[in-house]
């Protein structure tokens, strides 16, 4: 059993900030995680990658959030600092972890249930 505990979503004014956090727990070892990241989805749209971070600390950001969002990782916890938020950032944000194949398991993805971020103008 693996759980992703998400927190930090909410309602903010344009230009404001929020920090999302996600903690993986259960039958998982942090060293087996290749990537942790955040994705977002607006109803009717495809889910898209916002930011992700590798176990080595390398980061990848969607172009529309570069310079505004910062992702960080501490073992099995990943955080996303979101600054200068825009109304178009409004979406449901999902935490995802990507594990690697080991002698004991095949690589797979785990998803959180999502947390809503709403940016008002």
Q: Where is average pLDDT lowest: 29-33, 62-66, 88-92, 109-113?
A: 29-33
22-77 per-position pLDDT tens digit: 999 988 888 888 999 999 999 999 999 999 999 889 999 999 999 999 999 998 89
Cα–Cα nearest to 49, from 34, 33, 60, 35:
60
Q: What is the pLDDT of residue 31?
A: 85
Question: Interior CA angle at 86 toward 81 and 87, to 5°?
Answer: 125
Residue 1 pLDDT greater than 80, yes or no = no
Q: What is the pLDDT of residue 87?
A: 98
């Amino acid at each position: 059993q693996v759980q992703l505990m998400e927190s930090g979503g909410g309602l903010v004014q344009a230009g404001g900030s929020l920090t999302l956090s996600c903690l993986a727990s259960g039958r998982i070892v942090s060293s087996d995680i290749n990537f942790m990241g955040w994705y977002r989805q607006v109803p009717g749209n495809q889910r898209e990658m916002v930011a992700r971070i590798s176990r080595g600390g390398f980061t990848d950001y969607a172009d529309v959030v570069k310079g505004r969002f910062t992702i960080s990782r501490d073992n099995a916890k990943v955080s996303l600092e979101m600054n200068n938020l825009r109304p178009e950032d409004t979406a449901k944000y999902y935490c995802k972890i990507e594990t690697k194949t080991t002698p004991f398991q095949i690589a797979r993805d785990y998803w959180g249930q999502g947390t809503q971020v709403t940016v008002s103008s």
